[in-house]
Structure 1
Amino acid sequence: MATDQASMRTPGGRSERYAFAVLALLCFVYVLNFLDRQLLSILAKPIQDDLGISDGQLGLLGGLYFALFYCILAVPVAWLADRSNRVRVLTIACALWSAATIACGMAHTYPQLAIARMSVGIGEAGGVPPSYSIISDYFPASRRGTALGLFNLGPPIGQALGVAFGAMIAAAYDWRLAFLLLGGAGLVAAAAVWALVREPKRGATDAPVLHAATADPAEEAVSFWTTLRMFATRPTLALVSLAAAATQFVTYGTMGFTTLFLMREKAMTLDEIAIWYALVLGVGVSAGIFLSGRLTDRFAARAPQVFGLLPGLALALAVPFFIGFVHAPTWPVALAFLAVPTFLNYFYLTPAVTLVQNSVSARQRTLAGAVLLLVMNLVGLGLGPTWVGAASDWFHPAHPHNSLQLAFYSLIPFYLIAIALHLALARRLKRDGIVQPLQP
């Protein structure tokens, strides 16, 4: 694959148009990535009815079982991507998780489904970190927040399409068919990435510096422990990772059971889910992620505390509406309340990714992105749905008709933890000053 990106910084030029085309394709792959990941929670009710699994077992499938492989393998995969062709790594990963998604649709027992979900996690470990790094080498630091914000529209679009597509297929045919069709689409997307995306030169869009770093860039790229120590010893990186992890505990815990909650405790049907819940997800999360990226680009250069202050304030505003969603007596009222935290809960993602990508050298970006995702997803994705599912099972004997409602209430303290960590990050950034991208 070609690596010549000589005119990458030419505004409005052919290279810029190609950069946006690459961004669009990578965003599409991310849509499929997240759709594969969330289809289990979207189809929770028919899967439970077919396989006879509990809320706790469902939480483990979408949480700990998936996250252990997804998070742990993301680090060695990122290490490989920093030393090799990132486009090739992404292509193989996309093909692998798509094949595993097909296997989910062929599962007939809980152990078979568990193994298939673990395999999806193995494949998806190679999806996001290489994409972060590729995008960061196609867009300069001044526009990286917007570019990464557009890329991060993948999750909300994937969620919305997953709800609409998965619910409609399950209602009209069978939940298994949704997995089979989605896996097939992923295999086509993997071929498109391989054929159309050129591997960019590392650091192609970084501003030149007068004095290069004395360290060997190749050594930077291969040292996972150096990157991990950097996250542990640099307060900014440690705080942004923990703040994002606490936020994801809430978002993944909620998202993993919202469809089941609306159907079982608010009496929504699959057809209603496919229209109204899909609309709330698609509009709310997309708007939150995109707007946070734009605001970050606008204010971060002169007020670096925005990386922590913006998501912290958004989460504080979301709390009363989240309580209203859980307490609402009917599903239309519940969805009206849910629209607000769906918008505000995702103000953390683009600032977190942009801050990390801007704070490390070009040859560390894939691995640094993987370490960020390791912390975020091991805590948020691994423990959030697991917590909610276990709490629902614990409440069920005494409260069989509203066990998920009580489990959702137990997420409120984690909201407060996430707010406190983001405000601590804002104070640290205000003290340290403007975040300057390191050079390769």
Structure 2
Amino acid sequence: MTDAVAPATGGASAETQTTAAAPTIQPVTKGYARYALWLLMIIYTLNFLDRQVINILAEPIKNELGLMDWQLGMLTGLAFALLYTVLGIPIARIAERKNRPVIIATSVAAWSFFTVLCGFAQNFVQLVLARVGVGIGEAGCTPPAHSLISDYVPKEKRASAIAFYSIGTPLGALIGMSLGGIVADAWGWRTAFMVAGAPGLLLAVVVLFTLVEPRKKLAVDLAAKAAVAGPTFVATLAVLKGKATFWLLAFAVAIKAFIGYGQQPFIASFFFRVHETQLAQLAAQASDMLGFKVGVMSFVAVMLSGLSGLGGVFGVWLGGYLADKMGAKDVRAYALVPALAAILPIPFYVLGILHADALFALLFLFVPAVLTSLWYGPVYATAQSIVPPSMRATTAAILLLIVNLIGLGLGPLIVGGLSDFFALGLGLGKAEGVRWALVSSAVLGLIAFFLFWAARKTIKNDIVS
């Protein structure tokens, strides 16, 4: 990372015209860039903590409110994703010309408030509405954050920097599941929501007063006003229309997200339903070893979050590092690394889910946690590199719209529906129902692999900045 970086604006003539009036970037020091990346990563960690804490709480929520698995899928997926994806576009358009730190701070405060509100829900409808509120708040996080990061760091470090930010995904899931399980064991699932949401209200203040907007203020004249307006949404779509790489990566990641988001709400339920007796024994052994009582939910939460979360943190970092390292010699590495992330985890995941031993299954899931996380840095960095700087936030929002409508919106709902179908429609029972729903969804990674692989053929021609 260099002390002062201004992003390049090269590319095709049409793209150059759209950036000619773009506001210039005030370079930041190396030390401040590091601080900003850490702060943004912590924000994204809270983003995923508040989004994913419901996964470890799914079983007690299901039991108390009398829900079906498809309703759990609705709570963890579609209820959150609907406005989260739709509002990402207009918020990103604002982020192209307004103060991005202010947008992020407002978003953090909003999603944190609605996470706390989840703990007060008395029925399914109230919990759905609270989850919709969380989605509304979180819509303002990643598009402006990706845009800021691309202004803070040089192009050759972009995948690593965005991968560092993306560590918030597994780290947030790790903390959310472990914290949620431990708090729920001691004080119930409602308190877990309140504990998860409270820190964000304080962090919003930190963001507001310490995160800087690197765009220079422009003179108040007609040229400046035109620059502040920036390219239109239609202009951004017109540029993306000619970028085959963007669409291949977007739909490949959408399938990856469908698998990941679809499985997450049910993985803890899988262990509770399939390995209940073994889990009780393992929790008792852990209690004897540690000298204090460890509840079954706490044991599962810590094991799942520790193995998958730490594996994910390492995988996200490794994917960004490999992409930047290999991409310096061959830019196709930015598509190759995600392709490996799509195909390699499948056999490990299926073996873990089908194995009869609970501890083996828990440990075996560490491998796919590492491998499946390799795509974050390369994909998001490529999305920022195939458009001019003034289109980056909008491009990130369009990518997230596709990914989250398909992945987050439909993944949990369909995997939950499959679980109900296998359990009730085929008469396998709720334990085997959720097992085969997880296995069935994992195989879809093959489709993502072929899409990522196809992007290797187009990526050289599509990168402009």
Mark yes or no: TM-score above 0.5. yes
Give the structure 2 partner of residue 277 of structure 1.
Answer: 304
Q: Secondary structure of the residue that 2:67 maps to in structure 1? A: coil
Alignment counterpart, residue 194 of structure 1, candidates 191, 205, 208: 208
Structure 2 residue 460 is the aligned partner of structure 1 residue 435: no
Q: Which residue does 1:209 correspond to in 2?
A: none
What do the CA deviations read for 1:310-360 (whole angstroms, capped 9, x no partner)?
121232221110110220112211112211111111111111100011111
Match in the other structure for 2:4: 8
Q: 1:147 to 1:245 in 2, by over 3 A?
A: same
Equivalent residues of 1:79, 1:222 under 8 A apart: no
Give per-residue Cα distances to partners, 1:241-276, cap 9 Å, x unaligned.
111111111111122211111222222421212321
1:143 Cα offset (Å):
1.2
What's the TM-score, normalizing by structure 2? Answer: 0.86
Q: 1:434 to 1:242 in 2, by over 3 A?
A: closer
Q: What is the alpha-carbon distance in structure 2 between the residues aligned to residue 67 and residue 46 of structure 1?
A: 22
Cα deviations by residue, 1:167-198 (Å, 9 ceiling, x for unpaired): 00000111111111222111011111001111
Contact 1:38 1:159 in 2 (8 A): yes
Aligned residue number for residue 246 of structure 1: 255
Which of 427, 445, 448 aligns to 1:418? It is 448
Output the CA distance in 1 between the equivalents of 2:463 and 2:359. 43
Q: What is the correspondence of 1:13-24 to structure 2 with a 5 Å cutoff?
A: 15-24=29-38
- What letter is aligned with 1:44? A
Match of 1:106 in 2: 120
Residue number among 237, 248, 255 corresponding to 2:246 in the alignment:
237
C-alpha distance in 2 between matches for 1:290 and 1:390: 34
Q: Between Structure 1 and Structure 2, how many residues are aligned?
A: 415
Q: 2:349 aligns with which of 322, 336, 339?
A: 322
- CA–CA distance in 1 between the matches of 2:235 and 2:56? 39
Root-mean-square deviation (CA), in Å? 1.9
Q: CA deviation at 1:399?
A: 1.1
Quote the offset at 1:7 in angstroms: 6.0
Is 1:390 aligned to residue 417 of structure 2?
A: yes
Residues 412/155 of structure 1: CA separation in 2 closer, same or farther (3 Å cut): closer
**TM-superposed deviation, 1:130:** 0.8
Contact kept? 1:8, 1:16, Cα under 8 Å: yes
Q: Look up the match of 2:400.
A: 373
Given candidates 398, 409, 420, the residue that maps to 2:439 is 409
Structure 1, unmatched stretches of 5+, are 1-5, 203-215
Gaps of 5+ in 2: 7-26, 217-225, 280-295
Q: Which residue of 1 aligns with 2:371?
A: 344
- Alpha-carbon offset, residue 109 of structure 1: 0.4
Amino acid at match of 2:264: M
Letter in 2 for 1:237: F
Amino acid at match of 2:241: A
Distance in 2 (alpha carbons) for counterparts of 1:266 and 1:375 = 36
Q: How does 1:130-141 map to 2 (within 5 A)?
A: 130-141=144-155
- 2:19: which partner in 1? none
CA distance in 2, matches of 1:93, 1:333: 40
> In 1, Cα distance between the equivalents of 2:238 and 2:423?
43
Task: Write out the 4+ residue segments of structure 1 that deviate beyond 6 Å after TM superposition.
Answer: none
Distance change >3 Å, CA 300–CA 414, structure 1 → 2 = same
Contact 1:304 1:433 (8 Å CA) reproduced: no
Q: Secondary structure at the match of 2:73?
A: helix
User: Distance between the aligned counterparts of 1:59 and 1:263, measured in 2?
Assistant: 17
Report matched runs for 1:247-266 at 5 Å: 247-266=256-275
Give the conservation status (yes or no) of the 8 Å contact 2:319–2:378: yes
2:85 is equivalent to residue 71 of structure 1: yes
What secondary structure, in the 3-state scheme, does the structure 1 residue paired with 2:457 have? Answer: helix
Taking the aligned partners of 1:218 and 1:254, their CA distance within structure 2 comes to: 42
For the Cα contact (< 8 Å) 2:5–2:28, is it kept in 1? no
The Cα of 1:218 is off from its aligned counterpart by 4.5
For residue 104 of structure 1, what is the amino acid of its counterpart?
Answer: C
Are the counterparts in 2 of residues 247 and 348 from structure 1 also a CA contact under 8 Å?
no
Which of residues 172, 175, 183 is equivalent to 1:158? 172
Structure with higher Rg: it is 2
1:191 counterpart SS class? helix
Structure 1 CA distance for aligned equivalents of residues 214 and 274 of structure 2: 49
